[in-house]
Structure 1
């Protein structure tokens, strides 16, 4: 959601960009319908006087307690970018000044240059689909991962399936898998399972998951 000081809209979805990308210079490129309130505000602003904040909420693509995985705020100066959009749409550029992230890995500030130079994880476009597949088709194998937790799991000595906490995959990247274990009383905790080596494609991910499940079943 793109928040512009002083801008009031009738429907919150008018603040949602239809598409977003990052320019080689590190600016955010946000696409809106040509007649949207945000576009009107940007085109009427003089120079770089219009500031805005892109407020991002990252929600786990599977049903799990505490489903919000993280939030980010990207603040900067908003301008229109002519000639970059299809008919009926306008691209707005957000020249980044400040970035803050608060997610499963912690809270931190990100320098604009670091944001510009960051490389997307190879699974960013498919993470939701992969997590949903793991949850729907491999729930039994996921539950066996509690065997790798040792004393951290807080489980009774019996490790049979009836006493295992439910295991829901909540995040996946080239370095590993994060799982949320939900116990029968409703308590939950996260565990991160690192892959032996970073994976680069689906084939590598399949092998890494097979190794992980095999280790849990031993």
Structure 2
């Protein structure tokens, strides 16, 4: 399974929505604390882009040294229609400073020095060591995951349903007359997670591991072919 540090880094480098919370700072609109860009530096610090007139930028500019603390909260929502769509949340807390000169005119880059981090997702809750976060690498499928899941759901729902044959005893409740639906809900280099919907909001997840971790779309295509072949046997 991907480590907690890898999962957190993957969420940071994904397109998931994020808000930067600064204690004591109030804003008129929620989008005023939503960075329009985010990246990770070599030391594991986060670089967050904001309009230069953002309340967050003003607070960081006025702060002395590293006295301003902040928390970046990321919410991961499944890109397909499925019960319980929130797949996870990540939280990175640290010290916020403005870094002039890194952004284009009218923008300001803020640096969040990582002090502590955690992730609470489909794998469970784990705290993340800042050094582990610094050294982790995002999942290689992160930039394609949403599109791939949507494609599997829209174009291959019939093949997704055949995966119930790999569930063993639990497949007994998934025969066609019981209306079991299979929705691909998460994908990473190690495997595919499918949410089987038994009717209404009743559902359960099953994880299908690939024979070996995939590194790109080509290897993923072969791994999915192997998985569907196993279900058809």
- Which SS does the other structure have where 2:212 is aligned? coil
Q: Name the CA distance, whole Å, in 2 between partners of 1:54 and 1:186.
A: 31
Query: How many equivalent residue pairs?
Result: 215
Runs of at least 4 residues off by over 3 Å: 161-164
Q: How does 1:1-218 map to 2 (within 5 A)?
A: 1-155=19-173, 159=175, 161-218=176-233
The Cα shift of 1:184 comes to 2.4
The Cα shift of 1:216 comes to 0.7
Task: Show structure 1 runs of 5+ residues with no match.
Answer: none
Post-superposition CA distance 1:124-154 (Å, at most 9, x none): 0110000000000000000110110011345
Give the alignment's Cα RMSD to 1 decimal. Answer: 1.1
- Which SS does the other structure have where 2:195 is aligned? strand
Question: Highest CA radius of gyration, 1 or 2?
Answer: 1
Q: TM-score, normalised by structure 1?
A: 0.96
Say which structure, 1 or 2, has more relative contact order (CA 8 Å, 6+ apart): 2
Are the aligned partners of 1:22 and 1:29 in contact in 2 as well (CA < 8 Å)? Answer: yes
User: Structure 1 44/185 Cα, relative in aligned 2: closer, same or farther at 3 Å?
Assistant: closer
Post-superposition CA distance 1:44-64 (Å, at most 9, x none): 001111000001110000010
The Cα shift of 1:167 comes to 0.4
Post-superposition CA distance 1:164-194 (Å, at most 9, x none): 5100011001100000000125310000000
Q: TM-score, normalised by structure 2?
A: 0.90
